[in-house]
Amino acid sequence: MSFSKLLEYAHFLVDGQVSALMENVWSQAKSAIKNTIPPHIYKMWIDPVDYLDSSGNEIILSCPNYFLQKRILDYYGSMIQKELENKTGTPLKFKLVVSDTPSPFKEKEITTLSIQEMIPRQATLPFLENKLLYGRMLRNDYTFDNFVVGKNSDFAYSAALSLASSKKMHQNSLFLFSNTGMGKSHLAQAVGHHILSDRPMERVYYITAEDFTNEMISSIKNSSIDKFKNKYRTQCDVLLLEDVQFLTGKEKTQVELSITLDYLFEANKKIIFSSSQAPGNIPKLNDQLKSRLSSSLISNISAPGFRTRTRILQKKAKEKGCQIPGLVIEYLASELTENVRQLESGLNGVISKSSILNLPIDINLAESVVVNMVRTNSAITIDTIKKLVCKNYNVTVKDLVSSSRKQSIVRPRQMGMYLSRKYTDQPLNVIGRSFNRYHATAIHAISAVERGIKLKNDLGRQASILTNKLDTGDFEA
């Protein structure tokens, strides 16, 4: 007799027989779930769930605490529902309650984790508040829904979304490259968000090339290189690797990353690379790594056009809860053409000035904000930056372009190359030559200052001071 038929005659059974029947159903469903999810996930979330009682076509399950109850219902409720229906062949409802009462029909006690024991372990799960097993946190707003697609980015967006959505693809790696502020980091993190939302048990690692290098060096010093290798080669389902250009000249890191990528490619894992340059233009990459990067689907993201800039501003204004007149939006979009960050900076400037001075948001206000930004940027040259850096650090232009490796000279030189990259349209090779350095040295210098900004050290503080001077046009101060 089928289970659905047994349920029809359940009222003829004594309570103990009904409970034993339902207990058996949950036991079978639990075993089926165990075979479909990783062991550590099962042990933490499903194993503590016990049969408690039943009422008609509803089975009542229990778990030890409210924390566990919420997580199980949020992430495994549909899976439990599906397995219960598979085992019974009938729409069987379930309820999960918090109870320490063990089932009277359990043949043996199941060991469960206390909340104190559980919290340190759950913090490494990939789906809790978007915290990844390893690496950096994803920005909450960097999702596909929040990305404004235009002709400059439609291919990159489609490729990223396709890779994130498909479980099986002929092309499982994507290489995104663009200048700063065009959206490559947004798309890379959007892939991570989408995968964690759709398949929360997948192991997603979001790191920068610098993170990878530092972690490898640390593992060598601590004699844990095997653990490091195993982590990326066999315990990673999705790798989001940012700022690939900073691998230039790092030979040992390149060799290790190449081997890691071989493992991931062979296992059909998904990989998103991002860089300021195309693979073939990154200097001092070994042939094996360059070949691996070049075998990805490669997409450039260019500066957004007028219509796209308009839609970006409209979306940003809506997110901030501000009503911006259409003429002001169009004015900002026509004047601020460099990248998305400049657009957002202009919009923030208009909103802030309106709020502080209690002025209406109109063309006059927008012009007062934009004219300073545009005039400042047009007046900034590499020579201007050199003079500002020399004045700030009390060195000479001759010192900046010399062969000296003293820290008192190296730091100003790095700052000059960083600011030249940030405030001028000159390519890296031109910036490098302006300071009598190679392309790769310019990349290293920019990376050093960006790291200082993140760490908020003295180099970062100096960058903030000089950036403010350039932003305000205070070149001589």
CATH of domain 134-300: 3.40.50.300
Distance CA 81, CA 199 (A): 17
> What class is the 308-378 domain?
mainly alpha
Residues near 224 by Cβ (< 8 Å), separated by ≥ 6? none
Among 300, 262, 128, 117, CA closest to 204: 128
pLDDT value, residue 456: 83
pLDDT value, residue 475: 63
Task: Round to the nearest angstrom and report the end-to-end CA distance of the chain.
Answer: 90
- Beta strands 173-177 and 270-275 are parallel
57 CB-side CA count, 13 A: 12
User: What are the distances in angstroms from CA 379 to CA 384, 428, 473?
Assistant: 8, 19, 8
Helix (H, G, I), strand (E, B) or coil at 35: coil
Distance CA 258, CA 278 (A): 17
pLDDT value, residue 15: 47
Query: For the whole model, what pTM was predicted?
Result: 0.56
Distance CA 193, CA 200 (A): 10
Rounded to the nearest 10 degrees, the angle between the axes of helix 326-335 and helix 363-379 is 10
Output helix, strand, coil percentages for the chain, rounded to the nearest 5. Answer: 60, 10, 30
**Residue 222 amino acid letter:** N
467 CA to centre of own chain: 26
Distance CA 227, CA 224 (A): 5
CATH architecture of 380-472: Orthogonal Bundle (1.10)
> What class is the 3-122 domain?
alpha beta
Distance CA 159, CA 187 (A): 10
Query: Across the beta sheet with 58-63, what order do the strands follow?
Result: 50-55, 58-63, 93-98
**Residue 60 amino acid letter:** I
User: What are the distances in angstroms from CA 178 to CA 2, 240, 275, 298, 421?
Assistant: 61, 16, 7, 11, 14
The 10s digit of each residue's pLDDT in 350-389 is 998 888 888 999 999 998 888 777 655 556 889 999 999 9
Alpha helices, DSSP H, located in 241-325: 251-266, 287-294, 306-319
The 10s digit of each residue's pLDDT in 215-247 is 899 999 999 999 999 989 988 999 999 999 889
Phi, psi at 239, each rounded to 5°? -115, 120
Distance CA 283, CA 147 (A): 31
Give the domain ranges of the chain: 3-122, 134-300, 308-378, 380-472
Q: Do domains 134-300 and 308-378 have the same CATH topology?
A: no
DSSP-assigned letters across all residues of 348-397: HHHHHHHHHHT---SHHHHHHHHHHHHHHHHH--HHHHHHHHHHHHT--H
Q: Which residues of the chain have pLDDT under 50?
A: 1-15, 102-133, 477
Tokens of 466: 């000089």
pLDDT value, residue 165: 86
Residues near 170 by Cβ (< 8 Å), separated by ≥ 6? none
